[in-house]
């Protein structure tokens, strides 16, 4: 059948099972939006307030479901506004297809109005990028884009289409997209070697990253940890892959990880690394990281093997499949003496905060109690992000959405909207600092436009909290451009954008505010006023060993 390029785009999206799109229209993409108008029964299009919000929403949709998120933007500034969202998805291995349109083919390369080489700009931050100049290549290109986005280590793909291609016609033949099983890249010898290393270990430790979430390996991971009888720590991206209430769980590892995890990994004799890439925020000083241990790494991306940390043995493959094979060859192990040592650390070094005043950890603990852990939490980046990772107990995968690799301030609200659209029956809550909230607070207008009952918790300390923490500890309290001397009233902003607003200034107001927000059928902002000098502990200084983690008590002891 003969279809226009615009029609082909939407037909290809239907082939891929896509029914939700986040975007913002403009001149070059008008043909697609006109066709979208005609097919409004087939698609839910969420008009965001800014293209960056569309990219983050597609990201949140993808992270919370495992499906490919889709966003649309026009040429020039429309497409460049997607860049931060695309880079965020790339760093955290999020499957996304960004579809942009460019000027017509005769105008390409002539500095035409709103022309930009978005495929070139995004080359380093996408798995692949296309520019489609022939309508006959359009369908196959979109199909390839989705396959690349979701296969292997997932990531974003950009498809840029010249406007004339969206208007031209060609013959279109629909295809049925079959689910693909991950290719087996490992051998029986790999499994046998891993099992041999595990059986020889006396002090094993399991370090879980985002790959465990992406591969859907939670059940296999639980079985593996219990068979090996090993303590489990995780990264920001790995949250929820292993139940945070399980007795084997020891908390996050790294710069703001628990002392138990950091000390335990520093003393283990085998570090079993599952779907993690040894980020600098995890390892600290790479030369001293897990220096007493052999390291076994399992990852789907061969490029991550020996990139940051030299490992003793690696298996390249889908983590779920690899763990299934390893579990089948393991008998129940006994590491009770090692676990007793870890339990001593847990008892000696629990997470703690000042309970005499209103703090972010208190708010998050109360939120965890009220939701019983059955919510999707998104965050922005900074102190509140670390507190959300430390004090909310993530019991299931895809319930903690945050910008880990890129550290994108302004990520959370867009991601929150995308996750809520994908999961209408779940509570979806964004935890943001006031500095981050300023970045993309216009997306509250998106939430109110579509009556999405998301909850935006603003941890308001009137400063850039994490930067100030570093300035306090390492820059002689030189608070250069980190204090907000202004008169912004976030409650009035929220109300002006069509949302309910609640201000919290003391502990007794927290639970009533959260209960009211959780019962609301409209978006709610809770403005929580905390002290400007609250700090995230434990902490590892940049470049130090993770065994050098310190907290407030350690600082007090040094100053005495």
Beta strands 156-162 and 128-132, pairing class = parallel
Beta strands 455-460 and 427-433, pairing class = parallel
119's tokens? 């495929």
Q: Which has the closest alpha carbon to 147: 9, 15, 10? A: 15
244's tokens? 């945070």
Q: Does the annotation count 466 as an active-site position?
A: yes
Catalytic member of 67, 114, 550, 552: 114
How many angstroms separate the CA atoms of 117 and 471, rounded? 39
CB atoms closer than 10 angstroms to residue 98: 31
Greatest CA span in the chain, whole angstroms?
Answer: 81
User: Are the C-beta atoms of 68 and 97 separated by less than 8 Å?
Assistant: yes
Q: Does the annotation count 477 as an active-site position?
A: no
240 preceded by a cis bond (ω within 30 of 0)? no
User: Are the C-beta atoms of 398 and 64 separated by less than 8 Å?
Assistant: yes
Which residue reads 């380093």 in tokens? 124
How many angstroms separate the CA atoms of 360 and 290, rounded? 31
Catalytic member of 11, 16, 35, 51: 51
The three-point CA angle 540-542-544 to 5° equals 65
**DSSP state at residue 548:** G
Residue 77's SS3 state is: helix
Reported as type and span, the H/E element at residue 250 is: strand 249-252
How many angstroms separate the CA atoms of 69 and 378, rounded? 16
Catalytic member of 163, 321, 346, 535: 163
Catalytic member of 38, 113, 123, 344: 113
Catalytic member of 466, 469, 535, 539: 466
Residue length of the chain: 560
How many angstroms separate the CA atoms of 104 and 133, rounded? 9
Catalytic residues: 51, 113-114, 163, 466
């Amino acid at each position: 059948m003969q279809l226009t390029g615009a029609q082909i785009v939407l037909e290809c999206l239907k082939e891929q099972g896509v029914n939700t799109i986040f975007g913002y229209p403009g001149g070059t993409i008008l043909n697609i939006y006109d066709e979208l108008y005609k097919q409004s029964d087939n698609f839910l299009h969420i008009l965001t307030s800014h293209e960056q919000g569309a990219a983050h929403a597609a990201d949140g949709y993808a992270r919370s479901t495992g499906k490919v998120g889709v966003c649309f933007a026009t040429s020039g500034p429309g497409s460049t506004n997607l860049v931060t969202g695309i880079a965020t998805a790339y760093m955290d291995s999020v499957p996304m297809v960004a579809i942009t349109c460019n000027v017509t083919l005769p105008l390409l390369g002539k500095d035409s109005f709103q022309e930009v080489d978005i495929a070139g700009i995004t080359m380093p931050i996408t798995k692949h990028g296309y520019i489609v100049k022939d309508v006959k290549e359009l369908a196959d290109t979109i199909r390839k884009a989705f396959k690349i986005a979701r296969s292997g280590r997932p990531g974003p793909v950009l498809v840029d289409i010249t406007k004339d291609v969206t208007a031209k016609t060609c013959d279109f033949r629909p295809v049925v997209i079959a689910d693909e099983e991950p290719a087996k890249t490992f051998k029986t010898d790999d499994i046998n070697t891993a099992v041999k290393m595990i059986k020889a270990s006396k002090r094993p430790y399991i370090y879980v990253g985002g790959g465990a979430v992406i591969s859907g390996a939670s059940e296999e991971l639980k079985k593996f940890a219990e068979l090996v009888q090993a303590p489990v720590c995780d990264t920001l991206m790995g949250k929820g892959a292993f139940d945070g209430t399980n007795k084997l769980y020891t908390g996050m590892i790294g710069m703001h990880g628990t002392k138990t995890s950091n000390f335990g990994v520093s003393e283990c004799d085998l570090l079993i690394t599952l779907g993690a890439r040894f980020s600098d925020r995890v390892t600290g000083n790479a030369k001293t990281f897990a220096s007493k241990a052999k390291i076994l790494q399992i990852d789907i991306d061969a490029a991550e093997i020996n990139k940051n940390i030299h490992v003793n043995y690696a298996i390249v493959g889908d983590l779920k499949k690899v763990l299934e094979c390893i579990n089948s060859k393991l008998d129940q192990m006994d590491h009770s003496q090692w676990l007793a040592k870890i339990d001593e650390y847990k008892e000696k070094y629990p997470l703690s905060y000042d309970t005499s005043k209103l703090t972010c950890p208190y708010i998050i603990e109360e939120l965890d109690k009220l939701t019983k852990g059955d919510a999707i939490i998104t965050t922005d980046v900074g102190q509140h992000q670390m507190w959300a990772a430390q004090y909310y107990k993530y019991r299931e995968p895809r319930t903690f959405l945050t910008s880990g690799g890129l550290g994108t301030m302004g990520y959370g609200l867009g991601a929150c909207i995308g996750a809520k659209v994908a999961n209408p029956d779940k509570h979806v809550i964004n935890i943001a600092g006031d500095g981050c909230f300023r970045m993309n607070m216009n997306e509250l207008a998106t939430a109110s436009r579509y009556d999405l009952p998301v909850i935006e918790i603003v941890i308001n300390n009137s400063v850039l909290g994490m930067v100030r923490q570093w300035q306090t500890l390492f820059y002689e309290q030189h608070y250069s451009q980190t204090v907000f001397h202004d008169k912004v009233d976030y409650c009035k902003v929220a109300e002006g954008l069509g949302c309910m607003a609640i201000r919290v200034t003391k502990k007794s107001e927290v639970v009533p505010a959260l209960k009211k927000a959780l019962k609301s059928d409209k978006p709610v902002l809770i403005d929580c006023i905390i002290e400007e000098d609250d700090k995230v502990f434990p902490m590892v200084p940049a470049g130090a060993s993770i065994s050098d983690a310190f907290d407030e008590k350690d600082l007090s002891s040094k100053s005495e």
